[in-house]
Each structure stands twice: as structure tokens, then as C-alpha cells.
């Protein structure tokens, strides 16, 4: 009978103890795997979300709120700036293009973004392909034509040729309100659907900014209202030289060159600051995971020590039948290896499943697409847990191999 068969028989005979040990290993490893996957996934999601948003200009206020409302499509916009600000910024020698963005309307709580067709031609870097890609239909060419993000098309079922009516703000209009509202008398027609970007942009509905200006032509431009005649909520700056022009424009905006009531923000910096706050919690979880793995190794030691203590007579019989000490050591270590490997498999699978679940919850709450992509780190964590388990089982295995044959068999 081989060492593996003997080890498996012993595991089966003590299935409760070894089962609990496997669960302990799996939970400890799952926590470590999930933490590393989520850490990388959130960072990858932030990188993807920042995408074409190299520099944003908007009304003075919270820089993070400007980024959250414009890039992550979360929360209320900070305010508006006049359309003239766009023209003023566009004349800056370091600006390749200044793309206006208007926010404030929605459809089924999905943000409608008024902009120009240039926005859909933006890139993450000059040599990269365009960030957005049309998969059905075409780009909007006139007011009240709409291009849907991939997630919007999936959630709403809208397709090219369909029409819908916008709601003012994030809440849907109550029944009967649309007839008296300018939004109800100006339906949008879907003309295109974008490919998925794995970013909050998939949750946007993109329309010609003139649509916003026409719908809100009678509204005053006020700092608290994200809409208004010839108003824009934010301006996406495409610099001629990155990063030199980005920081130069940002400093000049802070100095009031483009007006006293505007600010310039680098979205990636603000999103990275948010990620650093989340990373503090991840650091704590990582420390807890390491502690859990040590506790799991201790559990292996206790389980194997108990197993060897209960089987001293059986091991002595094997020695009497000719098994060497090295063979006894190997049998116990194989038993320990099987338990550790089973726990590692359970842990990696559980960690990936947990990361996907938590990542989905984070995406729903923040619009940041948590990109869970296993790498070599997860197998390395599993291997380290197996090695730790073998080290924990080495002492019980050595005790079993050195057991006193004569003393154990004397009562027979």
C-alpha cells in the first residue's frame, strides 16, 4: 500500500478533525487571496475609470466631488461655469482641445452627459486607440440624438431607433409630470451603442450638449444648479504635451487665469487619494490574513500531533513489519500535505469567489469597475500555505518516526 493510500485512510478515519483543519486553512487563505485580488482590482478599476480624463476644469468647490460626479457619475455636480470659459481655455497654447460636459439630467437614474462628438474620440494617450468605440449605429450628429454606454443598453434594453424622455436630476419624474415639463416634450432618439470600457463610462448616456442648452434655455445659471443656458458642468482638457501642460494649466487655473470661480483637477490624483484611504483598510485585512494563516498552521500542528498520538501503536506495528523511520516520516508528511493542498484549493477558490462578490458590491456602490484578475500571486500564496502546513506537520511526523516500537508493542 502506498504512502498516499495510507495517508488518505487516516484522513478518512479522522474526517471531522481534518475537515475542520481544511476549513481553517481555506478561510485563512481565502482572506489573503481576496484581499490581494481586491487591492489590484480596485487599482485597475481606478486606472480604467480615469482613462481619457487627464485634466478637468469645473466650478470651484470640492475637487473630489467634481471628479466623482464627472468621472464616476456619482453624486451631485459641484456647479456650473459659463460657456465662455470653454472658449477661453481652448485658446490656451497648451490645450489641444477643450471638451464641454453638461450634467444634471438622467434616464432611469442613469446619467445623461451633454458633450460634443470630440469626447467620444478621446484617448488615454496619444498613441492609444480611442477610448470609446461604437458597436451599433453611429455617433450623435444633432441635438436629441443619444449614444448609450454598454451598461445602459443592457439595463434598459434600448437599441438604435428607440426613443426615451429625460428626467431632471437623478430621480424619475412622477406620472403626469412629463406633460408639463420641457424634458417630456423633447424625446431623445438612440442612434448608437458603445462597446464596454469596464469603467463608469459604460453607465453614461451621451448626447449633444446643445440638447442641454435647449432644454434649459429658460433657467438661470446659478452655482447650485448643474444646468442652465449656455452653461457647462465641467471641461475636459486634452493637453498638447503630457504631463507638462497638464500641471501648467492646473496651476494657472488655480491662479485665476481662466476666471475667479474655476478649479482644475487631475482626476487620477483624486481617485488615487480615495484609493489610499481604502488601502489602509486593506493593509489591516492583509495583517489579519497573515495572522489567520499562522493560526491555520497551528491548527495543522495540533491536528497532526493528535493524529500521531492516537496512532503510535499503528505506527509501531508498521515499524515492526519493516517500515523505516523515513517511511513513517513520509506517511505522516503526505497526510499533512494532502490536508494542506485541499485547504489551499478551497482557499483560492473561496478567495476568488469572495473577491468577485465584494468587487460587485463595490462597483454597485461606487461605479468603479473592480477588475478581478488572478495572477501568479494567488498560487504563490497557496504554495506558501502548503509549505507552512508541511513545516507545522514536521514536528509531529518526527515524533511519530521516533516512537518506541518495543514500548508501544509491549502490552500486546
Helix (H) or strand (E) holding 275: helix 267-310
Alpha carbons 203 and 12: distance in angstroms, whole number: 52
Task: List, for residues 261-288, the tens digit of each pLDDT value.
Answer: 899 999 988 888 877 777 777 778 788 8
pLDDT mean over 60-72: 91
Helix (H) or strand (E) holding 55: strand 55-59
Looking at 202, 233, 265, the residue that finishes a domain is 265
User: Both 41 and 94 in a single domain?
Assistant: no
User: Both 178 and 257 in a single domain?
Assistant: yes
Give the position of cell 476549513. Answer: 23
Length of the chain (residues): 412
pLDDT mean over 93-106: 92
pLDDT mean over 370-384: 90
User: Both 40 and 179 in a single domain?
Assistant: no
How many Cα atoms within 13 Å fall on the side-chain side of residue 103?
26
Looking at 210, 232, 265, the residue that finishes a domain is 265
pLDDT mean over 352-373: 90
Alpha carbons 194 and 135: distance in angstroms, whole number: 6
User: Both 98 and 184 in a single domain?
Assistant: yes
User: Both 245 and 137 in a single domain?
Assistant: yes
CA 281 → CA 278, 288, 383, distances in Å?
6, 11, 25
Q: In which domain, by residue range, is 295 found?
A: 3-46+273-409
Alpha carbons 243 and 264: distance in angstroms, whole number: 14
Each residue of 75-103: b (16+ CB within 10 Å) or e? eebbbbbbbebbebbeebebbebbbbbbb
Q: Which three cell numbers stand for residue 81?
A: 461655469
Task: List, for residues 184-227, the tens digit of each pLDDT value.
Answer: 678 999 999 999 999 999 999 999 999 988 887 766 544 444 44
Contacts of 219 (CB under 8 A, 6+ apart): 225, 227, 228, 229
Domain count, the chain: 2
Question: Greater confidence, 74 or 172?
Answer: 74
User: Both 256 and 357 in a single domain?
Assistant: no
User: Both 284 and 326 in a single domain?
Assistant: yes
Percent of the chain predicted with pLDDT > 90: 36
pLDDT mean over 154-158: 95
pLDDT on residue 256 = 86
* Angle at the Cα of 396 from the Cα atoms of 391 and 400, rounded to 5 degrees: 135
Burial class (CB in 10 A: 0-12, 13-18, 19+), 316: buried
User: Both 258 and 277 in a single domain?
Assistant: no
User: Both 132 and 68 in a single domain?
Assistant: yes
Alpha carbons 82 and 231: distance in angstroms, whole number: 5
pLDDT score of 138 more than 90: yes
User: Both 261 and 400 in a single domain?
Assistant: no
Q: Where are the beta strands (DSSP E) in 252-296?
A: 262-265
Looking at 265, 283, 315, the residue that finishes a domain is 265
User: Both 22 and 126 in a single domain?
Assistant: no
Q: Which three cell numbers stand for residue 380?
A: 504563490
User: Both 82 and 228 in a single domain?
Assistant: yes
pLDDT mean over 79-91: 89
Q: Which three cell numbers stand for residue 113?
A: 452627459
Amino acid at each position: 500500500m502506498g504512502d498516499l493510500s495510507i495517508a488518505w485512510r487516516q484522513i478518512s478515519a479522522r474526517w471531522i478533525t481534518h475537515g475542520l483543519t481544511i476549513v481553517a486553512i481555506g478561510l485563512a487563505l481565502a482572506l489573503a487571496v481576496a484581499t490581494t485580488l481586491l487591492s489590484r482590482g480596485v487599482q485597475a478599476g481606478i486606472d480604467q475609470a480615469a482613462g481619457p480624463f487627464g485634466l478637468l476644469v469645473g466650478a470651484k468647490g470640492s475637487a473630489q466631488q467634481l471628479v466623482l460626479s464627472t468621472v464616476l457619475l456619482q453624486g451631485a455636480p459641484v456647479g456650473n461655469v459659463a460657456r465662455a470659459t470653454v472658449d477661453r481655455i481652448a485658446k490656451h497654447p497648451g490645450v489641444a482641445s477643450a471638451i464641454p460636459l453638461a450634467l444634471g439630467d438622467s434616464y432611469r437614474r442613469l446619467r445623461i452627459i451633454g458633450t460634443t462628438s470630440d469626447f467620444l474620440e478621446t484617448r488615454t494617450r496619444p498613441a492609444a486607440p480611442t477610448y470609446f468605440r461604437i458597436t451599433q449605429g453611429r455617433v450623435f450628429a444633432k441635438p436629441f440624438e443619444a449614444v448609450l454606454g454598454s451598461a445602459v443598453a443592457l439595463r434598459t434594453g434600448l437599441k438604435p431607433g428607440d426613443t426615451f424622455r429625460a428626467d431632471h436630476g437623478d430621480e424619475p419624474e412622477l406620472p403626469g409630470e412629463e406633460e408639463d415639463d420641457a424634458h417630456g416634450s423633447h424625446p431623445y432618439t438612440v442612434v448608437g451603442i458603445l462597446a464596454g470600457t469596464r469603467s463608469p463610462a459604460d453607465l453614461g448616456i451621451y448626447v449633444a450638449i446643445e440638447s442641454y442648452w435647449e432644454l434649459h434655455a429658460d433657467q438661470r445659471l446659478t452655482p447650485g444648479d448643474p444646468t442652465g443656458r449656455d452653461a457647462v458642468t465641467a471641461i475636459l482638457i486634452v493637453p498638447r504635451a503630457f504631463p507638462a501642460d497638464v500641471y501648467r494649466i492646473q496651476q494657472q487655473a488655480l491662479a485665476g487665469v481662466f476666471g475667479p470661480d474655476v478649479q482644475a483637477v487631475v482626476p487620477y490624483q483624486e481617485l488615487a487619494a480615495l484609493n489610499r484611504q481604502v488601502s489602509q483598510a486593506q493593509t489591516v485585512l492583509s495583517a489579519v490574513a497573515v495572522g489567520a494563516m499562522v493560526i491555520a498552521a497551528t491548527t495543522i500542528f495540533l491536528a497532526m500531533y493528535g493524529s500521531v498520538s492516537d496512532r503510535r501503536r499503528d505506527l509501531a506495528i508498521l515499524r515492526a513489519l519493516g517500515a523505516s523511520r523515513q517511511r513513517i516520516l513520509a506517511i505522516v508528511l503526505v497526510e499533512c500535505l494532502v490536508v494542506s493542498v485541499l485547504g489551499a484549493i478551497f482557499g483560492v477558490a473561496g478567495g476568488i469567489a469572495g473577491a468577485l462578490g465584494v468587487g460587485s458590491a463595490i462597483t454597485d456602490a461606487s461605479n468603479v469597475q473592480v477588475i478581478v484578475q488572478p495572477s501568479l500571486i494567488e498560487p504563490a500564496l497557496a504554495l506558501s500555505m502548503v509549505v507552512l502546513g508541511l513545516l507545522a506537520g514536521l514536528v509531529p511526523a518526527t515524533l511519530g518516526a521516533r516512537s518506541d516500537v518495543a514500548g508501544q508493542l509491549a502490552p500486546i
